[in-house]
Structure formats: structure tokens, C-alpha cells
Amino acid sequence: MLNFYGVELGSRLLLGTAQYPSPAVLADAARASGTDILTVSLRRESGRLREGQDFWGLIADLDVKVLPNTAGCHSVKEAVTTAEMAREVFGTSWIKLEVIGDADTLQPDVFGLVEAARILCADGFEVFPYTTEDLVVAERLLEAGCRVLMPWGAPIGTGLGLNNIYGLRSLRAHFPETPLVVDAGIGKPSHAAAAMELGYDAVLLNTAVAKAGDPVAMASAFARAIEAGRAAYLADPIEPRDMAAPSTPVFGRASLA
């Protein structure tokens, strides 16, 4: 069973709450996904009082764990301040930490990320850092106090899938005991299944579901793909090889002369 900071979870799919065509579609997609965690941006929750209350009521009705995030933050100070506000608003020490370094790719500023993670972990937060697949950065985040890592598959919202299979596989191999979540860039259920087949513990999705033609059906498809990918990983897939190997035994075959 998946475990984040001592909390056991039945689903390995984390779902974002932005960009859905309506609150009703968001709620239906969340139910179809079977998710136990929804990520929520503080900015959307607190924009206007009544809208924020309605949105929070919808999330509360779904009876899931809330993971606030610092989406859109470009500095350590902004990310830390947003996290502190989120803890007050949502009543949780969980925070998905984003410190964006590049406006075009939305690539994390890994230097600022490590600094912000160190500050927040020391202040009692349980940090889920949005990071790259860099092994050294991962080590620094763990040293800062993070117990979960969330490397990107590809830039946020691109739907490109897993851009660096080697890097993601290496990260999994170097940190076998650390929960790893592929966050960002997933576009299709097959991408999510591939991440799970690498041994990743979970996948975080938003755009691929919210912007799909049928978000509810897509959420259900992702849920099944993640389950299939996890089952395949546990079943120990065969290693790829360069040469063909017959699947039918040749010994004892009838010889016709």
C-alpha cells in the first residue's frame, strides 16, 4: 500500500484540480479516478471569498486528502510564504513545493527548491518537492528533510510523457526506499503505465484529465492504466534483448526428412 509521511493510501493516482470545464466535471472525474489525494492551489481557493468557499465545499464532499501546492511561485520567499498560508487555509502540514526557474518550460529552480525545502521541513512541513530527475538534487532534497520526491516526466502541461527514461530509472535505482511520484508531462494512460512499470510509486495528473474531451472517462482510463503498470512491475517483466528468442521449444521437434 502507498504510504506518504505515515499516511496509507489505496490509490496511486494523485489528481490536480485546475482547468476543468466545471466543478461538477471535476467532482465526477475525481470519483472516477478513485484518487485519495487532490492537489489544490492556494490562489484558486482564496481568490474571491464565496467562490473559494464553494470550491472548498466541493473538495470536502469528495472526502479525500488535500495536497496544497505553491504553483506559480518563482522565489524561495514566495514559495515559503505561500506554504505557510496554505497550512492555515487547509489545515495540513502537507505541501507540494514548486519553485519555478524558467517561465517557458516551468522547470524547477532546483537551487531555490532545496533551500525552500530545508526551511519548510525545519518548520514542520511534510514536503512533496516538484523536481527534476537529477540524482544530486534528489540527495540534497532528502538531506533537507523531504521523504517523498516528485520528478517531472516532461514540462508541465505538455503531454509528452517520459522524456528521460534513463534518468527516471536511475533515480528509482538510487533511492529504492523513497516514495517517488512522476509529476508533470503525462499525457496518455500509456505514459502513466510506463512510469509505474519503472517502479514508481504513483503518478500526479492534471492537464491530461482536465483538458481531455471527456475528463471523466479519461480519469477512469488513467486509474486502470496505473493499476496495470503497477501490477506489471510487481510481476517482474522480462528484460529486453537484441536478438530474437523462440517462444516455442525447438528440442523434441519432429524432423521430416
Which residues line the annotated binding site for 1-deoxy-D-xylulose 5-phosphate? 157, 184-185, 206-207
Cβ–Cβ < 8 Å for 142, 150: no
Q: What does 51-112 look like in DSSP terms, one character per residue?
A: HHHHHHHHHHHHT-EEEEE-TT--SHHHHHHHHHHHHHHH--SEEEE--B--TTT--B-HHH
**Whole-angstrom Cα distance, residue 229 to residue 232?**
5
Catalytic residue list contains 96? yes
Q: Which residue has cell 534518468?
A: 167
Environment class of 168 (CB within 10 Å of its CB; exposed 0-12, middle 13-18, buried 19+): buried
Q: Which residue has cell 470519483?
A: 31
Of 65, 77, 96, 211, the catalytic one is 96
- Detail the residues annotated as belonging to a binding site: 157, 184-185, 206-207
**31 three-state secondary structure:** helix
**Which residues are designated catalytic?**
96
